[in-house]
Homo-oligomer: A and B are copies of this chain.
Amino acid sequence: MRNPQLNGDGKLQHLLTIEGLPREILVHILDTAASFIGVTEREVKKVPLLRGKSVFNLFFEPSTRTRTTFEIAAKRLSADVINLNITVSSSTKGETLLDTVDNLCAMHADMFVVRHSSSGAAHLIASHVAPHVHVINAGDGRHAHPTQGLLDIYTIRHYKKDFTGLSVAIVGDVLHSRVARSLIHGLTTLGAPDVRVIGPRTLLPTGVEQLGVSVHHDMREGLAGCDVVVMLRLQNERMKGPLLPSAQEFFKSYGLTPQKLVLAKPDAIVMHPGPMNRGVEIDSSVADGPHSVILPQVTFGIAVRMAVMSILAGN
């Protein structure tokens, strides 16, 4: 089966998931992102690469933070951005998802940034649109969130230079995390030899070992000697649900504190996709401490999204 993300020439047509993305395309995105870091730091933060293009933020699930990062990235590329919050829109008028997409294509959309609560929604849209239209998955159900995975990889490469010999620990609610899934695929593709997932049995997917990771239920054991600690967000609805005794219990076992962090390498970096629950996943002294690269992640995220958009648009 042909990779639905690539066109006939093997070039990136859509960004749907990091799973199955060739190594050279991953590296090309990271390298392009690096070239945009300079743009976001200069006085006039704009390049005309997407001038006259229409980018639609198609959010079937609200997410101000993710929508904002794509909106900023598109505007810095000089695109016209149209925000569509579809929950309050025509989907309530009985129109199907694909009819909505067909309509926007007929308005000569160039790119869709899609956020949807159902896994596979972005794939469905990508399989349906006209050949000149590009789709970026901005999170679909529990499945994938590839630009988050890419910015995580970018961050690791920025601080650690090389994935050879790297130990990466991913901690928390792996079960519900599209962020974890995307990151694991990226690390595997780039050759990170030691990826560990850490969490209670109830929050780790069964068979997660098949993704090429080792599994730990004891956080101290899992963190030992690692170079990178990626804390996952614990969603509010889990904190009082049947999978967890309480947020306090979770913090005691799996919250990142200075006491636990000393078990990692002395130059370990700490990451979090945000928004953080301070005192649940992570102690404030770690979040704001010298190991934290949580805010640089956000900065790199803009550059990564600019890179993806400009590569898709053929620049």
Taking a contact as CB atoms under 8 Å apart, the answer to whether B64 and A108 are in contact is: no
The 8 Å CB contact of A107, one of B68, B90, B96, is: B68
In the complex, whether A286 has a CB less than 8 A from a CB of chain B is no
State how many copies of this chain the complex holds: 3
Taking a contact as CB atoms under 8 Å apart, the answer to whether B68 and A76 are in contact is: no
Binds B, one of A188-196, A221-229, A272-280: A272-280
User: Which B residues touch A100, using CB under 8 A?
Assistant: 275
A290 and B94 CA atoms in complex are apart in Å by 23
In the complex, whether A173 has a CB less than 8 A from a CB of chain B is no
A292 and B103 CA atoms in complex are apart in Å by 13
The 8 Å CB contact of A93, one of B82, B95, B105, B275, is: B275
In the complex, whether A106 has a CB less than 8 A from a CB of chain B is yes
Minimal Cβ-Cβ distance residue in B for A102: B295
Instruction: Give me 6 other A-B pairs in contact (C-beta within 8 A), A62-B89, A64-B86, A108-B299 excluded.
Output: A41-B108, A54-B72, A64-B85, A64-B90, A72-B82, A94-B275
Shortest Cβ-Cβ A-B pairs, 4 listed: A44-B52, A64-B89, A95-B275, A106-B298
